[in-house]
Amino acid sequence: MKKTLVLKVDLQEPEIDKVRIAAEFIRKGGLVAFPTETVYGLGADALNPEAVRTLFKVKKRPLDNPPIVHVGHAKEVHRLAEEASPKAESLMKTFWPGPLTLILKRSEIVPDVTVCGLSTIAIRMPRHNVALALIRESGCPIAAPSANLAGKPSPTTAKHVLHDLDGRIEAVLDAGPALIGVESTVLDMTVDPPQILRPGGTSYERLKKILGTVKLHPIAVADKELTVEKVRSPGVKHKHYAPDADVIVVEGKLSAVVNKVKELAEFYMCKGSRVGVLATDETVGHYKADVMKSLGSRHDLPIIARNLFNLLREFDLEGVDVIIAEGVPTEGLGLAVMNRLRKASGYKIVRASSD
């Protein structure tokens, strides 16, 4: 076990001496967790194959699921990618820095391990002063998957990072909770029309406005496990976002959802399970369970997104056996929230109907 250094930094104006300590670790091939606007990432020098190999090992990440490469300037894309189409350029202008990851054809300088041998690369420029300062001080693009153990809910605080990775990474830069709370949208620009492989912090609606046509890959909106003939979105077949507790998602019209959640909570409590209910402000008062938590108002999807992963982790800390979660509307950030919840449940989805 090594000692993981916790470096508290200011969100807006990160202290440069602390950022330099972290950057030095990255330059030497070490691993540093850092905040982005979406979730905390676990960073390694993207051009150092040994560092990226360590990254996979420490995260226990399967070797066929490449990380996102984070850049400090949009022009870095031209070094890492073979070409950026006019469409890609206009997305970069509109959405970077921000929660949008573009899949482009990779260039020769990218080590195979960083892209898991694929001919494409995932790139984004985060909208977070700490992340940008770290990338710029390190002087290299930073490969960073979310800083959780593979399969677990993504970390939205430094505490979550330490829970999963304390003693296994060099340092964590702690600038408080991540603002968006779900990961970036992954958009495949190697196909026409562009296709969303993972819904996230940049909504489908906003992308559609800029692109005209944008497709949602079936995986991005799946409400059951799909077999993907050609795995364009690597990693989709692996377990994701799952707390230790079992998760059941209840979807449908709100009044029917409330009744079904009540019924399931009672059923599992009668069986002797410790039951958690993941509700919303409007509904939480209706339930009786061992642990009840609200994601926020159903009318405030950004708040719901911000709270999601933290609450899933809290249920585990409170020793819950099963979490019964209400579905939320799939517009805006709700599409990303439902994608994560459905995956966390392993697609254990109950449809509530009023008859």
155 binds, among ligand TXA, Mg ion, none (CB under 5 to 8 A by kind): none
For 97: left if phi > 0, alpha if psi spans -120 to 50, otherwise beta; the answer is beta
The residue (of 68 and 179) whose beta carbon lies closer to ligand TXA is: 68
The residue (of 39 and 301) whose beta carbon lies closer to ligand TXA is: 39
Select from 36, 146, 233, 330 the one that contacts Mg ion (CB under 5 A).
146
296 and 280 Cβ atoms separated by less than 8 Å: yes
Q: Does 280 bind Mg ion (CB under 5 A)?
A: no
Q: Tokens standing for 268? A: 């599992």
Q: What is the DSSP string of 122-134?
A: EEE--S-HHHHHH
48-57 long-range contacts (CB < 8 A, ≥24 apart) are 48/111, 48/140, 49/111, 49/112, 49/113, 49/114, 51/26, 52/111, 52/113, 52/114, 52/143, 53/113, 54/29, 55/31, 55/143, 55/145, 56/113
For 211: left if phi > 0, alpha if psi spans -120 to 50, otherwise beta; the answer is alpha
Among the residue ranges 9-17, 19-27, 232-240, 323-331, the one whose residues contact ligand TXA (CB under 6 A): 232-240
The residue (of 140 and 279) whose beta carbon lies closer to ligand TXA is: 140
Q: Does 101 bind Mg ion (CB under 5 A)?
A: no
Q: How many residues bind ligand TXA (CB under 6 A)?
A: 28
Among the residue ranges 45-53, 180-188, 249-257, 325-333, the one whose residues contact ligand TXA (CB under 6 A): 180-188
Q: How far is the CB of 273 from ligand TXA (least distance, A)?
A: 30
Select from 71, 161, 197, 275 the one that contacts ligand TXA (CB under 6 A).
197
The residue (of 6 and 150) whose beta carbon lies closer to Mg ion is: 150
229-240 CB burial, b ≥16 within 10 A, e <16:
eeebbbbbbeeb
* Interface residues toward Mg ion, by CB under 5 A: 146
List contacts with ligand TXA (CB under 6 A).
36, 38-39, 41, 65-68, 99, 101, 103, 115, 118, 120-122, 126, 144-146, 183-184, 186, 197-198, 233-235
